[in-house]
Structure 1
């Protein structure tokens, strides 16, 4: 849930917002009603709660000294502006993460080029890069040979399921390669030289290279 992940989103130097309370409420409403937020009941409750919070703050400060009223207004606006920024950043992060999870990207490259890049990375002592490119080369090679359907956005495990159906005797190695791909690319896990080399060897075996 994007809303629960707000506190995990790292801060970034964005231009400051300085809206009025009414503008702040409007900004927050537009952000929370973006299509990326699916639980509309929860979103509406949050909008209503924040609007009431701001209204109460303004009402309670209306009879207070000017400086106190100004302080309440500043806090309310800062709260809404900060929440808008956090929600917007979290939404962008979630969308980018979903796009990155596909094994094959929109990069115009062949399986041989990915394979060569993986071998260079491994020789340079970058096993993580080597493993990721090796698995992508493996998947693209099978696609080029007609053994894998061209399914845009297919994840590593979707690719593994399809490949295991074509190569049942290699199921364990294919599953291991998919797990390593996900854990290295999305879980920030370190890869070893041996693990990257194993995926390259799997590419050879699935391609029929001895």
Structure 2
């Protein structure tokens, strides 16, 4: 059985001559998956088509060696473009509501977020208090090396990552992640009680010894 991940172009790729190979490649790369709005993928596809078209022109007829070389080039091109498309799709998902990074301000420490949350308390801006308190949780976990590769990490990925270090607080962290997404991306508002709950959770986690540090 042919793996599902293999492009359809290989189903009919047996022994093409130069014209057939050009047509096969053009049909495959004309599919919508290879022509997303991302400019990088569009440019890469255009560049690859030009290079392959030039290679096809200089190949001598449809000899066995030419066919083998052309098949290898086609495979490499399609694999490379497939990786590029998946990469840009993953990047776009991070920009969709509910799937954006928690921390998008380089250089901000956990204490910076706590200070900003404190200022928001004085101003009565409970949305900002909740958001910055959860950001303080994420930044604090990064500073304590409890989370890896935090840039690009979503609120729920932070919550999942902290289940191990703080199993007794896993439910509270998950609820805080839900509130973060609802306020930050769902156009909802919070109140003083919820905001203070997340702020207190940050305080509790900051003074709690991670579970994995107790092992050994």
TM-score (norm 2): 0.51
| Aligned twin of 1:136 | 135
Deviations 1:24-48 (A, max 9, x none): xxxxxxxx944449xxxxxxxxxxx
| Aligned twin of 1:27 | none
1:107 aligns with 2:106: yes
TM-score (norm 1): 0.53
Shift of 1:158: 0.5
Gap runs ≥5 in structure 2: 1-33, 40-91, 209-216
| Aligned twin of 2:204 | 205
Contact 2:134-2:180 within 8 A present in 1 as well: yes
RMSD: 2.7
Q: Tell me the number of residue pairs that the alignment of Structure 1 and Structure 2 aligns.
A: 123
Which SS does the other structure have where 1:164 is aligned? coil
Shift of 1:164: 1.3
Deviations 1:191-210 (A, max 9, x none): 1111111111111111117x
Shift in alpha-carbon separation, 1:192–1:166, aligned structure 2, 3 A: same
Contact 1:99-1:153 within 8 A present in 2 as well: no
| Aligned twin of 1:160 | 159
| Aligned twin of 2:179 | 180
1:121 aligns with 2:120: yes
Displaced runs of 4 or more, over 2 A: 32-37, 93-100
Shift of 1:145: 1.0
Shift of 1:148: 1.6
Contact 1:110-1:140 within 8 A present in 2 as well: yes
Contact 1:128-1:191 within 8 A present in 2 as well: yes
Shift of 1:122: 1.8
Shift of 1:146: 1.3
Shift of 1:172: 1.1
Q: Comparing both chains, which one has the higher relative contact order based on Cα–Cα distances under 8 Å and sequence gaps of 6 or more? A: 1
Which SS does the other structure have where 1:165 is aligned? coil
